Structure 1
């Protein structure tokens, strides 16, 4: 129900009403929602207001427009919790989805600059550079570029990087991965990213830089990832720090 006397903007109320029907399962993935005209007549509001609400939900990944057909409920975003260290392969399998990898490049390069320093590789030392497109149920989800020390992760082959690198490190090399730190920021897709991930230029991306370490604090990898903003969201759990305070 839309309350025209509410201080909440009408377009926002429409957004919430649509999201509620999606969350309740009244409208499922692939279902076509009413047209702007139908919404306008249903709520006795302008089509421009409806268009603003629908456009916002398209940007947020709830809806998808198909030219000449209408507006449909989009696939649900995958939620990844930002606590607990898992690989992409492990995460997708845990969700009952089929992980996939398309290898774009696999080679050894000379280390230098900040990457060499972070991985504790002498300038000119060798490191692996791996570029992969990661997918879930055959849908491209992220573009990844990974760097690892060749001295540390010996014997890595092209075949190995189609699966889980964490699995290779722990099962094949007998190392124990301890922890990681991550940096997140928002961005938009450029030409190369849009082509690789099958999204429009300017579509939202989530950029993540991950630094992973072995249990003894030896640097393991640096990973630069660009996740599709329309298919992924990250959830952070927070606990209040209980301290004595008068505030």
Structure 2
């Protein structure tokens, strides 16, 4: 009878340990990974085994090895296909990171308080909009600052707890199906506040404005997202 469980190699044990530390957020982007000596002592494995494990993680792009300085957690780059409707949570899952949210602001405003956005959403000056700002994270690392607007006529009583998870899932639970979207991209210079919230020193920020539509081409949601340019990139392909 063949065994169902194969023995995990010593090298895989080290790799799994470091991957777990990264995915749990104990080791964040830019953090120094335990040295070969520290890992050798921790697991009581040979130095060559530890070296091989770290080399594999470097080849996968998970860590960066700098001679004389050590190994560091790499800056994950999320590559989003602009033609596909994926959520931030799905983007994070695609690179093995846990999506997180921090609600910075939630309020109800009039269309006249945000004229350009109201126009995009076909909202009259005296009609109301939900307006909220969220900081989205991957393994507790700030990645994107999102400003979202939804006409209150679509959601009478907004469940704030839904913003702790996937907004897309909440919208779907209300019976709405996103039938299409329009996305505009541009490079912008980040403000001091945005740079502080995103914990980046680079003023180069990628701004994505996305308008989502439900049946009969009704504009349902307007979201302006400001991404860290070192962690996010968009792809457009002529192939389906």
TM-score (norm 2): 0.69
Q: Could you say if the C-alpha distance between residues 129 and 227 of structure 1 is closer, same or farther in structure 2, counting changes exceeding 3 Å?
A: same
SS of 1:169 mapped into structure 2: helix
- Per the alignment, do residues 22 and 141 of structure 1 end up closer, same or farther by CA in structure 2, a change over 3 Å counting? farther
Cα displacement string for residues 9-35 of structure 1 (whole angstroms, at most 9, x for unaligned residues) = xxxxxxxxxxxx99982986242157x
1:182-193 equivalences in 2 (<5 Å) = 182-193=183-194
Q: Match for residue 230 of structure 1?
A: 230
Q: How does 1:102-121 map to 2 (within 5 A)?
A: 102-112=102-112, 113-121=115-123
Which string of whole-angstrom CA distances, capped at 9 and with x for unpartnered residues, describes residues 139-194 of structure 1? 110000000001112221221122222211111x1111111111111123221011
Residue of structure 1 equivalent to 2:15:
none
User: Contact 2:106/2:131 (CA < 8 Å) preserved in 1?
Assistant: yes
Equivalent residue, structure 1, for 2:52: none
1:31 is matched with which residue: 55, 58, 65?
65
Q: 1:24 to 1:136 in 2, by over 3 A?
A: closer
Q: Can you list the C-alpha shifts for 1:182-218, whole angstroms capped at 9, x where unaligned? A: 1111123221011100111x43211111011013211
Counterpart mapping for 1:1-247 below 5 A: 25=59, 29-33=63-67, 74-112=74-112, 113-171=115-173, 173-200=174-201, 202-239=202-239
Structure 1 residues 93 and 159, CA gap change in structure 2 (3 angstroms): same
Taking the aligned partners of 2:61 and 2:127, their CA distance within structure 1 comes to 55
**Cα distance, 1:22–1:199 mapped onto 2, change above 3 Å:** farther
SS at match of 1:31: strand
Asked if 2 retains the 8 angstrom alpha-carbon contact of 1:131 and 1:145, the reply is yes
- Which consecutive residues of structure 2, in runs of 5 or more, have no partner in the other structure? 1-54
For normalisation by structure 1, the TM-score amounts to 0.67
- The count of residues paired between Structure 1 and Structure 2 equals 184
Kindly report the root-mean-square deviation, in angstroms, between the aligned alpha carbons of the 2 structures: 2.7
Distance 1:26 1:98 in 2: 19
Partner of 2:47: none
22-31 or 213-222, larger mean C-alpha shift: 22-31
Counterparts of 1:28 and 1:94 in 2: how far apart (Å)?
A: 14
1:124 CA drift (Å):
1.5
Task: Check the 8 A contact 1:33/1:72 in 2, yes or no.
Answer: no
* Alignment deviations for residues 72-128 of structure 1 (CA, whole Å, 9 cap, x no partner): 674231111112112212332344321100110011111122211221221121110
What per-residue deviation string (whole Å, max 9, x for no partner) do you get for residues 213-232 of structure 1?
01321111111110001111
Q: Residue 11 of structure 2 aligns with which residue?
A: none
Q: Is the 8 A contact 2:144 2:227 kept in 1?
A: yes
More helix as a share of residues: 2
Aligned partners of 1:121 and 1:215: how far apart in 2? Answer: 17
Q: 1:24 to 1:134 in 2, by over 3 A?
A: closer
1:195 alignment partner, SS class: helix
127 and 28 in structure 1: CA distance in 2 versus 1, 3 angstrom threshold = closer
